[in-house]
Amino acid sequence: MLKEKMKVEDQVLEKQKQVVDDITSVHRITKENSVFSRTDGGFVSLQYTEEDGEIKVYNRITVHRCFPHSDPTHYISIREPEGDGREIGLIDDMDQLPEDTCAMLNEQMELRYFTPKILKVRHIREEYGYSYWDVVTDRGTCRFTVRMGGGSVYPIGKDRYLINDLDGNRFEIPDLYKLSAREIKQLDLFI
């Protein structure tokens, strides 16, 4: 009786261990063990050969950057879209992948991290705790509103800044000192 009970508990423990393993272990996705392809619905699917040789097919995957600002081309996390969004594997270096795969994944990431780059600051008006921006981005002209009082504009690298507007949209200033002195002066309030 006791033995049986212990056996059951062993199994449970084993299962628990697996869950923990799943959470803590890191799978590497390389060009050898993966095939990414476009789906008819406009998403990306993955056929992935696990370490033990088992082939798994994911109809849709999502792509996250581990270091979206400081290292956007390394450590790309490929995840299941549903449920917990479990990580399928990590790509160490995008350059290791075939070109078309790269393009496919970059597309997905562009989608996720939609961040127009500010090329020109036309006008910033600060009034009553909000600032109203009128800028030219690589996606065209854009007007948006930022809440003042810290946290909305923050540095993400040397001379690089990220701006969060009221809607949760993001904008990037890739290099502050490429802007004109007049523009920098307008931004002075935030930096």
Residues 6+ apart with CB under 8 A from 29: 48, 78, 88, 89, 90, 91
* Nearest residue (CB) to other proteins, 51 versus 110: 110
Residue 14 as a binder of other proteins (CB under 8 A): the answer is no
- C-alpha separations of 43 from 46, 47, 104 in Å: 10, 14, 9
- 140 near other proteins, judged by CB under 8 A: yes
Binding other proteins (rule: CB under 8 A), the pick from 143, 156, 157, 180 is 143
Q: Pull the structure tokens for residue 34.
A: 């993966």
Which residue from 4, 53, 129, 181 is in contact with other proteins, where contact means CB under 8 A?
Answer: 129
Query: Does 57 participate in binding other proteins (rule CB under 8 A)?
Result: no
- For residues 8 and 28, which CB has a smaller minimum distance to other proteins in the complex? 8
Rule CB under 8 A: say whether 69 interacts with other proteins: no
Which amino acid appears at position 87 of this protein?
E
Task: Note whether 14 and 29 are within 8 A (CB).
Answer: no
101 touches 31 (CB < 8 A): yes
> Binding to other proteins (CB under 8 A): which residues in 76-115?
81, 84, 110-115
Amino acid at 84: D
Residue placing its CB nearer to other proteins in the complex, 53 or 140 = 140
The count of other CB atoms within 10 Å of the CB of residue 87 is 17
Listed ranges 12-20, 24-32, 91-99, 153-161: which one lies at the site for other proteins (CB under 8 A): 12-20
Among 123, 139, 154, 177, binds other proteins (CB under 8 A): 139
Q: Which residue blocks in the chain are alpha helix, DSSP H?
A: 2-24, 99-112, 181-187
Name the strand (E) or helix (H) holding 12: helix 2-24
- Residue 116 DSSP label: P
16 forms part of the interface with other proteins (CB under 8 A): yes
Residue ranges binding other proteins (CB under 8 A): 6, 8-9, 12-13, 15-16, 19, 39-43, 59-60, 62, 68, 81, 84, 110-116, 127-130, 132, 134, 137, 139-145, 147-151, 165-170, 188-189
